[in-house]
Chains A and B, each alone.
Chain A
Amino acid sequence: MRRFTYHEPKSIADAVHLLSAYGEKARLIAGGTDLVVEMKQGKKEPDHVISLRSVPGVNEINFSGGYLRLGAMVTHRAIERSPLIRERFTLLADAVDNLGSVQVRNVATVGGNICNGAPSADTAGPLLALDAVLLVEGPEGERNISLNEFFRGPGKTALAANEVLKQIIIPELPPEACSRYLKHTRRKAMDLPLLGVAVTLIPEAGGEICREARIALTLAAPTPIRAIRAEKHVAGKPFYRAVWEEAGVLALEDSSPRTSFRTTAAYRKKMICALLPRAAAEALERSGRTMKG
């Protein structure tokens, strides 16, 4: 790796200060599982690497007052091991269960996964389908960014170069809600998704009708997206397979998948139609109900 100076500020404010001082020459490092790879490949060549590991509190998972708060430095492994997340925010547990290896999950962070801006990021879809909001700090203080507005293109996010992600804030789901993230891969382990489908369902009181659905897709477009047309279509309708098959077709209108070295746009389109109804059916099964038809 090319030479750089390593910094370990003790607060977010100090990290922001360093980022402002060194500008383009500086990079934050969380777990480093993306950044170190890119530095070894010579794709990123910062002169200053600023670590968040000595900042207190940024690796905490906190659930209170109707919100789940994930510190930016929470590792995928901590999410995997959290009974609360597995029970109440299940699709986020789905996302990390099959993310990289144990070795990767032990150090890679949820903040790094999001801030890296990769179209394939496994936590992006689930966090979109959880209506997550990001708390970031910059020279002027803190601000919130809805995750819906965060992804701007492959490797591009709404963060300014001197802003730091502090926390991911997720509103609590009602107890009747259920969810599923499907990661479509060629291998069972150690593979990036060809397509990711994340679904959160909130049924009406009787459980037969879908009050609200949040649907997010990864690798269906240059950034992770919400499939708004599909969401509108299923809202207020019973949980019927035919309704969700129609939603799959509508999700295509929200998408613009590309052909990459992993697979083709045509295949991704077919899989959107196939996997959206499957993800919804599997979410429903988790709450003891079945998709009809």
Chain B
Amino acid sequence: MIAVKISFLLNGDPVTAEVPDQVTLLEMLREHFELRGAKEGCGYGECGSCTVLVEQEAVNACLMLAAFVNGKSVQTVEGLAGKQCRLDPLQEAFVEHGAVQCGFCTPGMIMSAKALLAENPRPSRDQIRRGMAGNLCRCTGYAKIVEAVAAASKRGCSCGESS
């Protein structure tokens, strides 16, 4: 069987996986590493529920070949709370502002917001909407999500230290 060997940093830890060549990053994270935070909504780059960070930048894991992250750093929603298991300020803000309903979109929303705030710690509402345009939510109507991201940004969330 054809397989590629992929070594990368996963939420800060060096890891190695051998997966078939055609496996996507999302499949590798969910099946091989059993990290089920990132979800497959559409599988085509439209909904953002599979969003993770590669080298600190938000990507759709459903469209990326697993082989692409060889030698890179990958951060998933599971890595945010860290070893101390303390929620990231963004996660806290989502909880406090009712930005989570069914929760399917939430890991992707949080990771997109993480990348956004790392680049622009004080985004305007409009910049938040633009930065999160690749993430769909079928429950909240977005208002509370935008509120939560704005609140986290005011709190000066720990967005610089994203690995």
Query: CB within 8 Å of B: which residues of A?
Result: 1-6, 8, 29, 32-33, 36-37, 39-40, 49, 51, 53, 77, 100-104, 106-107, 188-190
Contact = CB atoms under 8 A, between A and B. Distances in A.
A37 B44 contact: yes
Interface of B: 2, 4, 20-22, 24, 43-46, 48, 51, 54, 57-60, 63-65, 67-68, 112, 115-116, 130-131, 133-135
A4 B130 CA distance: 36
Contact of A51 (B46, B67, B131): B67
A100 B134 contact: yes
A4 B1 CA distance: 11
Contacts of B68: 32, 51, 53
A210 B63 CA distance: 45
Contact of A107 (B22, B43, B44, B64): B64
Contacts of A5: 2, 21
A37 B22 contact: no
A2 B131 CA distance: 33
Contact of A190 (B22, B43, B134): B134
Contact of A104 (B4, B130, B131, B134): B134
22 contacts: A2-B22, A3-B2, A3-B20, A3-B21, A5-B2, A6-B21, A6-B67, A36-B63, A37-B63, A53-B68, A100-B45, A101-B48, A102-B116, A102-B131, A102-B133, A103-B45, A103-B58, A103-B60, A106-B57, A107-B63, A189-B134, A190-B46
Contact of B65 (A36, A102, A104, A106): A36
Contacts of A4: 21-22
A221 B154 CA distance: 48
Interface core residue of A2, A36, A100 (most chain B CB under 10 Å): A36
Contacts of B58: 102-103, 106
Contacts of A77: 57
A29 B68 CA distance: 11
Contact of A102 (B2, B22, B43, B115): B115
Given A102-B115, A103-B48, 11 more contacts: A4-B22, A29-B65, A36-B65, A37-B45, A37-B63, A40-B43, A53-B68, A100-B134, A102-B116, A104-B60, A106-B57
Contacts of B24: 1, 36
10 residue pairs, one from A and one from B, having the closest CB atoms? A101-B134, A189-B133, A6-B21, A1-B22, A106-B57, A103-B60, A103-B134, A36-B63, A103-B58, A6-B67
Contacts of B48: 101, 103
A33 B135 CA distance: 16
A193 to B, nearest CB: 16
Contacts of B112: 102-103
Contacts of A101: 45, 48, 60, 133-135
A29 B116 CA distance: 27
A190 B116 CA distance: 17
Interface core residue of A8, A49, A102 (most chain B CB under 10 Å): A102
A51 B6 CA distance: 15
Nearest to B60: A103
A189 B132 CA distance: 10
A102 B45 CA distance: 11
A6 B116 CA distance: 32
Given A103-B45, A103-B59, A189 B21 contact: no
B120 to A, nearest CB: 11
B130 to A, nearest CB: 7
Contacts of A188: 133
A74 B113 CA distance: 24
Contacts of A189: 130, 133-134
A51 B135 CA distance: 27
A190 B133 contact: yes
A274 to B, nearest CB: 25
A103 B42 CA distance: 14
A32 B61 CA distance: 11
Nearest to B50: A103
A93 B10 CA distance: 33
